[in-house]
Amino acid sequence: MTIEQAFTERMDEGELMNCMRCGFCLPSCPTYIQTGGDEVHSPRGRIALMKAVHDGIIPVTDEMTNSLDVCLGCRACEPVCPAGVQYGQLLEEARSIIQDYKKPSLKEKIVRKTVLNELFPKNEQMNRAVGLVRFYQTSGLQKGIRKIGFLKLFPESMREMEQVLPAIPKKVQSDRRRLLATGEKKATVAFFQGCLMDTMFQGTNQNTIRLLQSAGCDIVIPEDQGCCGALHGHAGEKNKAVDMAKRNIEAFETMEADYIVMNAGGCGAFLAGYDHLLSQDEQWRERAGRFKAKIRDFSSILIQHGFDKRIHFKKKPHRVTFQDSCHLRNGMGVCNEPRELIRMVEGADYVEMKNADGCCGSAGVYNLVQPKMSMQILDDKMENVMEVEPGVIVTANPGCLLQMKLGIERAGLGRQIEAVHLADYLMDE
Amino acid sequence: MSQQQLISQLNTITGGHARGSQADLLAYSYDGTPGFQAMPDAVVSPGTTEEVSQIVKFCRTEGIPIVPRGSGTNLSAGTTPTAGGVVLLFNRMNDILEVDEENLTVKVQPGVITKDLIDTVEARGLFYPPDPSSMKISTIGGNISENSGGLRGLKYGVTKDYVLGLEAVMPDGSIIKTGGKLAKDVAGYDLTKLLTGAEGTLGIVTEATLKLIPMPAAKKTMLAQFSTMEQAAEAVSAIIANRIIPATLEFMDRATIRAVEDFAKVGLPLEAEAILLIEQDGAEAAVIDEMQLMKEICETHGAFSVELAKTAEEANNLMTARRSALSALARLKPTTILEDATVPRSKVAEMVEAIAKIAAKHDVTICTFGHAGDGNLHPTCITDARDKEEMHRVEEAFEEIFKEAIRLGGTITGEHGVGEMKAPYLEWKLGKSGVNVMRMIKQALDPDHIMNPNKIFGKSEKKRVVVGR
């Protein structure tokens, strides 16, 4: 079967036809804006390209695949689509087909192999890798390497990323799989740890758990859980994502929790899409549906359980803004809750920045494989940040957090602005 | 001429802003019209009027069609390159050049997004009323070429009522300037009006001077619910007959309400058979009086609920939701085919009834919404392009709707343009002699038929030089 035949067979024709080409998505698309209004780099254009291949009008060309590669997958086009086209699903299927047929470039191969095959599916590896980063940071190696200019061999964005990686905490092996609510119990939640959150951002996970406890949640942490598979799914590695989905469903369905809760929008939206990912699999479809129905971001749970009546946060007066996580907002429909939580903090002067709902350019491994577009988007983002002059930028996803740290560094604002995760913002003094 | 030569020439003229990969061509092979798609030979983004002129001169010499295109939201296949050729974009000509607060005018390049223009002038307390539903996406150049309407057409008119002057490149490459910042100007034929709504068939608009008016002091919005479509339509006629001209008087039937609410979640009443969305602006006291009067008229005609929006945000949400109606209907079936048959406003109730009858007769599903206040309805058929037999019935139903609109003293298109889609019906509205006059104008200005061929008049009989691939 040729790649074009695979498009005809595997792409969801009904969904492709649901796009009626009204163009309502155009103003929401970061790459359409960045390219000065290039239809090739718009959601409508990308769907038209997929449909044209599906219909046999054009073959798969480098320009066609490039159009899909340049897409951030931020899904900002979905909530603004009156016709309700599931763009993210179309994109993932198309990428999966291309992945099955195309030979990726050497650079992409390396990123894919290390990030997707080695790091993320295996928690031990992630532990070890992040452990290495910690070793690198604490052993004096970081200083040495910076001195001899070894990092000049890497692309600019990766060099800068090296500078903003957070100080890695020593891995705390916790065997505590069940934690109790503070005060009256309102719900039992199963906590999804996430790979990055569980290693590089362990402190954030601990803070999230404490917040959930304060909100009246008993917490269970299933031992057998793994990576959500989002990076794989977004990158066209559908089969790997399916394996991970099954593993997580198995790990969580025995827990009898009211909700499955996480603090990373990217993971949350992907977990909430397991039902679609497994829709072709009769044995798993229903289980995935039940799993999906329980997915919540921690911010929703805090608001839902009247968190504000239980806890009062007080900080020194400061100005703060929020950068949406695209998948939290566009995938899970959560955007008010984090803002409400920030506004609850005494001393917080919350200012909404322009285009806060626009992608920051992090987008999974996008900032590694499409550094130019990613940095263009980030630099525009920082201009909006500077307009509101915040002391703190709050984020709701690890990728966004690292990207905002990078943006602050690039803009030379390291002394004035701090980027933090919502859970840390609420908990830390 | 090969495609490569064409692109290389366009690149020479524009300094490297022409493209022609298969992906590029495919992405400009369509607009918002269902059922129309055709590949152009090149896509070019000129940066100046002079570059546009050079492109036109070159294409005329070579006999290559030019399709000017804004954001491609056209609903009559007006920007689909059905004869191939060059798709000409304005994404590099998108500046607001001047807001003249003394003359109340604004000068813009064609690529400016309509909403950006509206926001810019409103920030200065000025008002540009034409507000097509696609205004967040559409360009001013496109609005001018299509003479776009919108939700405020009833009280404030349409795009042509705000175009004071144009700069345009004619089909021979010459650059003309028409009109200006003048309230009165009768120096010769009104070429401004001729080019406005010409759908890019007579020349290319490269700059426009538009009229602004003062921002009304107050604005109020309300929603009236009815248990039959006829009641709502009668209320529309009664409002007009009572000498009230609201800024907006929009109609939505049950199916449309449901689809829109499914998307926008603004709390539209799902139990109503029809709603009217009414907005009035002006001096505050007058607005309050007229809204009260319209409320009473609606109630007299059977409205079971009439409620004012409590906040500006709520009002804005309602209007934004209404603007999504066409696309929201696409939730129901894969293909949505919409028309914009327009009748004198006193005939709205008759037209609504006729549409329902025609839909039943041909066994097709037609949802109706639209600018009821100005008689401009958007009967929209939800169907599936793969079902050839049903598509045939849809076509028959729309033919009948056009006939009925004309019988009631209306027209085949109120604001979407003829394009290629409605070209076969143009004669029904204009008669043979009417079409003939238009053809003569076209022939005089564009004897080589390079400007957006096939549009308005349908497929041209003229054999054209096709770009070799």
CATH number of the domain at B291, please: 3.40.462.40
What confidence tier does A363 reach under pLDDT thresholds 50, 70, 90?
Answer: confident
- Asked whether residue B44 is assigned to any structural domain, the reply reads no
Chain A hits for B29, CB-CB cut-off 8 Å, are 48, 52
- Asked whether residue B72 is assigned to any structural domain, the reply reads no
Any idea what the CATH number is for the domain that residue B170 is in? 3.30.465.10
Same domain for B235 and B139? no
Nearest to B24 among A21, A26, A63 (CB): A63
In angstroms, the CA B88 to CA B47 distance is 11
- Asked whether residue B364 is assigned to any structural domain, the reply reads yes
Same domain for B231 and B207? no
Same domain for B159 and B115? yes
Residue at a domain's end among B180, B214, B248: B214
Res B388 pLDDT > 80? yes
Nearest to A17 among B72, B326, B334 (CB): B334
pLDDT at B465: 45
Residue at a domain's end among B373, B407, B441: B407
Chain A hits for B26, CB-CB cut-off 8 Å, are 48-49, 52, 57-58
Same domain for B143 and B235? no
Same domain for B246 and B326? yes
In angstroms, the CA A150 to CA A147 distance is 8
Residue from B22, B87, B140 whose CB has the most chain A CBs within 10 Å, to mutate: B22
**Contact yes or no for B327 and A83 at CB 8 A:** yes
Quick: pLDDT tens for A84-97.
999 999 999 999 99
Quick: pLDDT tens for A108-158.
677 667 666 666 666 666 666 666 666 666 666 566 556 555 555 555 666
Same domain for B152 and B208? yes
What confidence tier does B100 reach under pLDDT thresholds 50, 70, 90?
Answer: very high
What's the structural domain count of chain B?
A: 2
Strand order in the sheet with B175-179: B96-100, B105-108, B204-211, B163-169, B175-179
**Contact yes or no for B30 and A48 at CB 8 A:** yes
pLDDT at B370: 92
**Contact yes or no for A82 and B328 at CB 8 A:** yes
Domain that holds residue B116: 96-214
Same domain for B227 and B372? yes
Least CA distance to B336: which residue of chain A?
Answer: A20
Same domain for B401 and B274? yes
- Asked whether residue B32 is assigned to any structural domain, the reply reads no
A-B C-beta contacts closer than 8 Å: 107
**Contact yes or no for A36 and B31 at CB 8 A:** no
**Contact yes or no for A24 and B136 at CB 8 A:** yes
**Contact yes or no for B31 and A40 at CB 8 A:** no
Nearest to A23 among B73, B334, B385 (CB): B73
Res B333 pLDDT > 60? yes
- Asked whether residue B159 is assigned to any structural domain, the reply reads yes
Mean pLDDT is lowest, of A174-188, A248-262, A409-423, B191-205, for A174-188
Same domain for B203 and B272? no
What is the value of pTM for the model shown? 0.91
Least CA distance to B322: which residue of chain A?
Answer: A82
Same domain for B160 and B231? no
Nearest to B21 among A22, A23, A63 (CB): A63
pLDDT at A199: 79
- Asked whether residue B426 is assigned to any structural domain, the reply reads no
Looking at the complex, report in whole angstroms how far the Cα of residue B32 sits from the nearest Cα belonging to chain A: 5
Chain B hits for A59, CB-CB cut-off 8 Å, are 22
Residue at a domain's end among B183, B214, B245: B214
- Asked whether residue B66 is assigned to any structural domain, the reply reads no
Percent of chain A with pLDDT over 90: 70
Domains, chain A, in order of start with CATH, read 3-101 (1.10.1060.10), 106-164 (no CATH), 178-303 (1.20.1050), 312-427 (3.40.50)
What confidence tier does A171 reach under pLDDT thresholds 50, 70, 90?
Answer: low
pLDDT at A236: 86
- Asked whether residue B242 is assigned to any structural domain, the reply reads yes
Same domain for B179 and B240? no
Chain B hits for A63, CB-CB cut-off 8 Å, are 21-24
Quick: pLDDT tens for B240-276.
999 999 999 999 999 999 999 999 999 999 999 999 9
pLDDT at A364: 82
**Contact yes or no for A82 and B324 at CB 8 A:** yes
Average pLDDT over residues B210-232: 96
Res A82 pLDDT > 80? yes
More confident residue, B182 or A196: B182
Looking at the complex, report in whole angstroms how far the Cα of residue B113 sits from the nearest Cα belonging to chain A: 10
**Contact yes or no for B134 and A23 at CB 8 A:** yes
- Is the confidence metric ipTM above 0.90 for this complex? yes
pLDDT at A428: 82
Same domain for B117 and B266? no
Radius of gyration for chain B, computed over Cα atoms and rounded to the nearest angstrom = 22
Secondary structure of chain B as H, E, C letters: CEHHHHHHHHHHHHCCCEECCHHHHHHCCCCCCCCCCCCCCEEECCCCHHHHHHHHHHHHHHCCCEEEECCCCCCCCCCCCCCCCEEEECCCCCCEEEEECCCCEEEECCCCEHHHHHHHHHCCCEECCCCCCCCCCCEHHHHHHHCCCCCCHHHHCCHHHHEEEEEEECCCCCEEEEECCCCCCCCCCCHHHHHCCCCCCCCEEEEEEEECEECCCEEEEEEEEECCHHHHHHHHHHHHHCCCCCCEEEEEEHHHHHHHHHHHCCCCCCCCCEEEEEEEEECHHHHHHHHHHHHHHHHHCCCCEEEECCCHHHHHHHHHHHHCHHHHHCCCCCEEEECECECCHHHHHHHHHHHHHHHHHHCCCEEEEEEHHHCEEEEEEEECCCCHHHHHHHHHHHHHHHHHHHHCCCECECCCCCCCCCHHHHHHHHHHHHHHHHHHHHHHHCCCCCECCCCCCCCCCCCCCCCEC
Calculate the average pLDDT of chain B: 95
What confidence tier does B466 reach under pLDDT thresholds 50, 70, 90?
Answer: very low
Res B282 pLDDT > 70? yes
Least CA distance to B28: which residue of chain A?
Answer: A39
Quick: pLDDT tens for B149-181.
999 999 999 999 999 999 999 999 999 999 999
Res A160 pLDDT > 70? yes
